[in-house]
A and B are shown apart, each in its own frame.
Chain A
Amino acid sequence: MLQVQNIDVYYGKIHAIKNISFEVKKGEIVTLIGANGAGKTTILKTLSKVLKPANGSIILKGNDIKGIQPHDMIKMGMAHAPEGRRIFSQMTVLENLEMGAFIRKDSKDEQQKDMETVFRRFPRLKERKNQIAGTLSGGEQQMLAIGRALMSKPEILLMDEPSMGLAPILVDEIFNIIEDINKAGTTILLVEQNANRALQIANRAYVLETGKIVTSGDAKELMNKEEIRKAYLGG
């Protein structure tokens, strides 16, 4: 599905991503974990072409994305639920979901069906569909951000800290939903601070430290590694 080969990303002189390679296979949940400032968001933004890598290549479904415009990435089947939700806070819930379906050319009926699917997953959004999104609670906003990303029917979904700032019960709910979305056929690249939960649902994981991948492997095996437990899982 996605192959990242030897990419470097700079912010001016700051070398944020250092020669990183990884891959996500069709149907997987892969997680990138790492401390604050490790470069997780930078990687996702690079995949979405919001940032340009200085070198290396990114192959999505067999095609190098080098020449693709940022706004065309979603047409390639990649959706991105960005860090901090970034919903359109002055638009209604419904309009936010419509923006998620912006590139779709199929019938209104088809889109309506997918909207109903989102509402079935997040009944709270349905109750609030005409509410201005900025007035939703943090958890509801996160649900909206995920629902919005799903409206493009992505083959691969990039999620940047979907559990950030949520109460523990909601965190469980969000992780269940991520698993569900994956079971329904969407490949997922998940960035998380909550390494424990992320590793529980992921197939594989990459551990990032100051712009470098230091460890990678099967998610369950990593969970049992002494140094990973110490550094990321609180003992």
Chain B
Amino acid sequence: MIFIQQMINGLQIGSIYAVIALGYTMVYGIIKLINFAHGEVMMMGAYFAFLAASAGMPVWAVFLISMVGSALLGMAIERVAYKPLREAPRISALITAIGMSLFLQNLALVIFKADPKVMPRIIPTTPINIGSIQISNITIITFTVSVVFMILLTFFISKTKPGKAMRAVSEDKEAATLMGINANSTITLTFAIGSALAALGGILYALAYTQVAPTLGVLPGLKAFVAAVLGGIGIIPGAMIGGFILGFVETFAKAYISGRWADAIVFGILILVLSVKPTGILGKNVREKV
């Protein structure tokens, strides 16, 4: 019974990691940048949700405001911090990303202060009993909403014109440009979608832990990054798989080994997987035909 209970907890946190990891992987796929500010976008998304919820907005509006607000934030970050460095050495953009992450954390500190805010219960918590297992409705909602967005994203990427343009630019920006695809606006769109997903993760995280603080994005951001690398960075299904694996490993490590060791185990697994398969679980070493 404890096992099943932990499985369910793993699904909840795993789906949060998965939606955040998607943003990492999409941005990496298209401009080969690890956007270290991604966790902070998630944190800002949680604050946007906190503000909207505190203003008494309905649930759907809280999600909408947070996700749209974060999409705009993500687009602004790309425009201001990364676009000018598009042709610069990759390390410059990476350092800028770390700087942007610190900037956003400090911005949140100034605006919202260091003490955590209590996230209003926009969705009343009701436990659901199935036999001897108790599941919170928040768990079910988190999992369902995440999966719905993953399906929507998959459909968008594989079937729609802008989604295909995104894949084309990810593969070969110059060739995509020759096809008439505006690479810049495609990159902007990628940031918008990735950031909206980060915000979704932020709201779900805030609902689960009922608190919002300027450092909220640090650990989940890092773990989502690990999830993205684990699944194969740049590969969208990889981010989802990586997120769930991470969620399971973490909850099981907490339940059966030790809470203090959980994070060390998570990162240990990353090192292990990468030493066996450096490109991640779904990563393949594509040999290009010349």
Which A residues form the contact surface with B (CB < 8 A)?
A: 48, 50, 69-75, 79-80, 82, 84, 86-91, 95, 98-100, 102-103, 134, 137-138, 141, 148, 152, 165
Contact = CB atoms under 8 A, between A and B. Distances in A.
Contacts of A99: 164-165, 168, 176, 179, 181
B175 A88 contact: yes
* Prevailing SS type, chain B contact patch: helix
Nearest to A49: B177
Interface stretch (B14-22, B32-40, B196-204, B282-290): B282-290
Interface of B: 161, 164-165, 167-168, 171-172, 174-183, 286, 288-290
A152 B290 contact: no
Contacts, number: 73
27 contacts: A50-B178, A70-B178, A71-B177, A71-B180, A71-B182, A74-B178, A74-B179, A75-B180, A86-B172, A86-B174, A86-B175, A86-B178, A87-B175, A88-B172, A89-B171, A90-B167, A90-B171, A90-B286, A98-B164, A99-B164, A99-B179, A100-B179, A102-B161, A103-B179, A137-B289, A148-B179, A165-B290
Nearest to A79: B178
A99 B168 CA distance: 8
B28 to A, nearest CB: 15
A138 B178 CA distance: 21
Contacts of A148: 179
B289 A138 contact: yes
Contacts of A90: 167, 171, 286
A70 B174 CA distance: 9
A82 B182 CA distance: 18
From B161, B164, B165, B288, name the one whose CB has the most chain A CB atoms within 10 angstroms. B164
B178 A82 contact: yes
Given A82-B175, A134-B289, A165-B290, A91 B164 contact: yes
A148 B175 CA distance: 11
B8 to A, nearest CB: 35
Contacts of B288: 89, 134
